[in-house]
Every structure is written in structure tokens, then in C-alpha cells.
Amino acid sequence: MGERRIMEYEGWKNYATWNVSLWINNDYALYQAAVEFMQDYKGKMPYKQFVMDSGLSAQRTPDKIMWYSAQLDYRELNNMMWELAPEGARNVQEKRTKKNSEVL
């Protein structure tokens, strides 16, 4: 049974994903940087790009969780970032997501 099970945490896929989201949404400077980043973001994976652009990719949260790690659920973190985007950008992303799921 080499299978590793990752438990859900506070409604998130796991503790690591919850932790980085918690820091982005509760540290004022980080939150402001994320909101500003999302003002003009046009790509598909905002979380990874935000972490790279912010210089956080090799750093850890104050709780010692890597900002960029295989432990993270990037789909959940991208959705969290889209929630910080202006309404127009969010609508465009929702249409892309719907279109992509129809193709599958």
C-alpha cells in the first residue's frame, strides 16, 4: 500500500494549500500585492505566476510551508486568486473554465 493519502484541511485539499491561502488572504501586504497582481492578469495559472513574480518561489510561509511545492493544490489556489480579480476578469476565467470542461 504505497499510496499516500492527503487529508482535507479546513475545507481545502490539505494543510499546505490552506496555509498559503491563509497567508495571502490575511497578511495585508501580501493580500494587496495579490489583488494588484490580479488587476491585469490574463493567463491561466495566476497562483504560480504571482509566487514567481513576488520572489516567493524558493521561500516558505511563516509556518514553514513552501510557496511553490508539489504538496499544493494549484487548482484551488488558482481559484482563490481568481476570487481576488476584478469581476470582469473573473467572468472571462469562468467562461474559459466552462468551455474547457465542455471539450473534455
Nearest-CA neighbor of 97 among 44, 47, 48, 49? 44
4-36 tens-digit pLDDT: 455 688 889 999 999 999 999 999 999 999 999
Looking at the domain assignment, is residue 26 inside a domain? yes
Is 36 part of a structural domain of the chain? Answer: yes
> Is residue 9, in this structure, part of any structural domain at all?
no
The pLDDT value given to residue 86: 86
From residue 85, how far is each of 42, 79, 88 by CA, in Å? 10, 10, 8
Domain assignment present for residue 8? The answer is no
Position 53 in a domain: yes
Q: Looking at residue 10, what is its pLDDT? A: 86
The torsion defined by the Cα of 28, 17, 74 and 42, in degrees rounded to 10, comes to -10
Count up the domains in the chain and report the number: 1
Residue-wise pLDDT tens digits, 49-92: 999 999 999 999 999 999 999 999 999 999 999 999 987 565 65
Q: Is residue 56 part of a domain?
A: yes
The region, left, alpha or beta by phi > 0 then psi within -120 to 50, assigned to residue 93 is alpha
Residue 3 lies in a domain: no
Q: Tell me the pLDDT band of 2, cut-offs 50, 70 and 90.
A: very low
User: Residue 86's domain spans which residues?
Assistant: 15-103
In a domain, 73, yes or no: yes
Specify the pLDDT at position 3. Answer: 45
